[in-house]
Amino acid sequence: MNKITLVVLVIASLIIGLSSCKSLLKSRGLHPDFDSETYDLKGKKALIVTTSHGVLNKPGETTGDSTGVFGSEMTVPYYEFLDANMEVHVASIKGGQIPIDPSSFKRIIRTKSDERYLKDDIFQEKVKNSIPITEVDFTQYDVVFFAGGWGAAYDMGQSDTLAKKVSHAYYNSDVLFGSVCHGALAFVSAKDSTGQSLIKGRTMTGVTQKQLNQLKIEFTPLHPEEELKKAGANYQCSTGKRDFFETLSVVDEEKRFVTGQNQNSGHETAQKIMEILTNVK
């Protein structure tokens, strides 16, 4: 056997092994296929909002592993809305380059939407030059969707600007709010017209504390399950032996907030949003 043949065989074995591992993870529940409907929402506008925080560290630390938005939690809803002929913009807490958690683009867990993003110059330019939330009017959109990832634990629930924009848009437009995983933290500080929690009594979800514990990321500033409950939301989730493989998407009683549990929930959450939009056209 010559060297070239050996190299080809080694590469082929690695590809087969990688494919097998990816299939195994998928069979367990990671990034499940979703039986999507086809929507035509031409004339509608969606905004994807992400974190601007890119370092995974403990309180008081200034360095740590790179983090940010979890890739698929941004790419999946973006393409769901884009493929429905919606105009889709991208914003972040501070604007500019959005940090993307490098682990979320590892080949073994990369989604089809991630692969599409990595070849999409237009989307990449939007991510490189995201709009700061201070310059965005949420009332001009039909959908405002908050992507998750570890970074969101550091700046979404803490942003007074974001909380005020959510409340203002809720009362001054018919915008539908969506989120997945840590993105639900965007709602926990929003207030209603009486100064109480805007999401009190609403059925919502976000990543479980169990999933954070199992992934050993217990030191981030805000935890979605805990914060949603503190804000008075009717927190729901799907749980199992490993919550990393679970998924759930829920719609609140007023059909204004559609939330997804974790990285597996993007497709269904976006689809539920578009179903509501279609029925109110």
3-state secondary structure of 131: strand
Which band of pLDDT confidence, cut at 50, 70 and 90, is reported for residue 6? Answer: very low
What is the tens place of the pLDDT at every residue in 35-72?
888 999 999 999 999 999 999 999 888 899 999 999 99
* 95: confidence class by pLDDT, cuts 50, 70, 90: very high
Domains, the chain? 31-279 (3.40.50.880)
Which residues are CB-contacts of 43 (< 8 A; sequence separation ≥ 6)?
none
The residues near 136 (Cβ < 8 Å, ≥ 6 apart) are 47, 89, 91, 165
152-197 pLDDT, tens digit per residue, is: 999 999 999 999 999 999 999 999 999 999 999 999 999 999 999 9
Distance of CA 69 to the CA centre of its chain: 7
Smallest CA-to-CA distance from 263 within 251, 245, 278, 250 is with 245
